[in-house]
Amino acid sequence: VALVAGFAPSPHSRAEPRCISRFAPRHAVCAPRAAPRLCSADEAAGKSRPFVEQTAADRMQQTAADRMLWDTVNTEEERPRLLDALEGRDYLTSVFLLHGVYVGGLNIVGEYGENYAVQAVGIAAVLGFLSAAWGFAELVTGKIAEDGRPGFARERSIMWYTSSYLAGVMWLSLRLSPLYPASLTPLDPALCAATIAVYVYGFASPVRTVLVHWEELTATEQLRMKGMVASGAVGGVFVLNTAALLLRGNGWWEQVLLLWPGQSTLEPSTALFAAYAVEAGMLVHRAARKGLITFQLAVPFYGLAVLPLLTVLPMGCLFWWRQADISF
């Protein structure tokens, strides 16, 4: 829901520069077409200067316009081919989301057999942790380059958060499922504290960016920050059961299962749906940054089709099928 709000089309997007993308040099900076004009003397002199390799400090001094995020419009003839633009993590995310379709189908028809935990949580844990690790690797190796944008508008900040959030909800899903090894429960305090910190950061950082850096953001970034604030608020709902587990220990969860046995299906599945939602949103985000699609076209499809079918519908069905043995 938050990504839908954050990537909503700007009413002025047709007047904005068309894109900044990392797919290829010819897509790096796309500006609106303009009538040919003669270069000024200063421009001509600049073109004749010899090329000098930039230092890291020089790159950090680039103008803000060179690092701003804009939507891509009117560039259909220049868009990269799908297979050329997709990278390894995009394929992994696609497999993860296909698994989400499968898990959603199980919830829609109410198929909660003995193997549900393995088919849903177990497979998702492998794919989700692998995707999160891939995201961290891209950050550590510098594949996600520094763009110098303020606050949470910085691409590396977004990627650190979404990768950490994915790892956090995947751990929570596994922790509250029957698959979690009892030998790992002593790690609960540390892991609970770490995931709570991620949830708090995911709300506090975009709020601070809105309050402190609003005027420095493009219209697209401003809309995205609104969405990130909403995302942090909604995603932070997992603070409740994580804090309960932190403060009351494993005995609390065992007591919950005695009173409401269906919670062993409800809680892990809810965390899974959150993981599917964030991965789908970031796949759309990466595709738009590469110039494959515009946010204007992708966001309505994501908000009106992907999210309801992938998360809202199966979650509602889960509540319906297990209403007798779960607690709201």
Report DSSP letters for 97-164, one per residue: HHHHHHHHHHHHHT---TTHIIIIIIHHHHHHHHHHHHHHHHHHTTSS-----SGGGSHHHHHHHHHH
H helix intervals, the chain: 2-6, 41-48, 56-60, 82-85, 88-109, 116, 123-140, 155-175, 188-213, 219-235, 239-248, 250-259, 263-289, 295-301, 307, 313-321
Residue 248: pLDDT band (50, 70, 90) is very high
What average pLDDT does the segment 128-134 reach? 97
Q: What is the pLDDT of residue 72?
A: 53
Residue 276: pLDDT band (50, 70, 90) is very high
> What's the whole-number average pLDDT of the chain?
79
Q: What is the pLDDT of residue 48?
A: 45
151 within 8 A of 201, measured Cβ to Cβ? no
| 268: pLDDT strictly greater than 70 | yes
- Rounded distance between C-alpha atoms, residue 92 and residue 124, angstroms: 12
**Which range, of 1-15, 23-37, 311-325, averages the lowest pLDDT?**
23-37
| 99: pLDDT strictly greater than 90 | yes
pTM of the model: 0.76
Q: In terms of C-beta distances under 8 Å and separation of at least 24 residues, what long-range contacts does 136-143 make, across chains too?
A: 136/163, 138/89, 139/163
Which carries the bigger pLDDT value, residue 135 or residue 80?
135
CA pseudo-torsion sign 122, 126, 131, 137: positive
Where residue 38 falls (left for φ over 0; alpha for ψ -120 to 50; beta otherwise) is beta
| 32: pLDDT strictly greater than 50 | no
62 within 8 A of 147, measured Cβ to Cβ? no
Residue 255: pLDDT band (50, 70, 90) is very high
Q: What is the pLDDT of residues 43-54, one digit of tens each?
A: 444 444 443 344
Pairing of strands 29-30, 19-20: antiparallel
Q: Which residues neighbour 271 within 8 Å (Cβ) at sequence distance 6 or greater? A: 169, 170, 172, 173, 176, 238
28 within 8 A of 261, measured Cβ to Cβ? no
Dihedral angle computed from the Cα positions of residues 86, 89, 95 and 96, in that order, rounded to the nearest 10 degrees: -140
225 within 8 A of 186, measured Cβ to Cβ? no
Please, is 33 exposed, middle or buried when counting C-beta atoms within 10 Å of its C-beta (0-12, 13-18, 19+)?
A: exposed
Q: What is the pLDDT of residue 62?
A: 46
Q: What is the pLDDT of residues 163-192, one digit of tens each?
A: 999 999 999 999 999 999 999 999 999 999
CA pseudo-torsion sign 210, 211, 212, 213: positive
Q: What is the pLDDT of residue 69?
A: 55
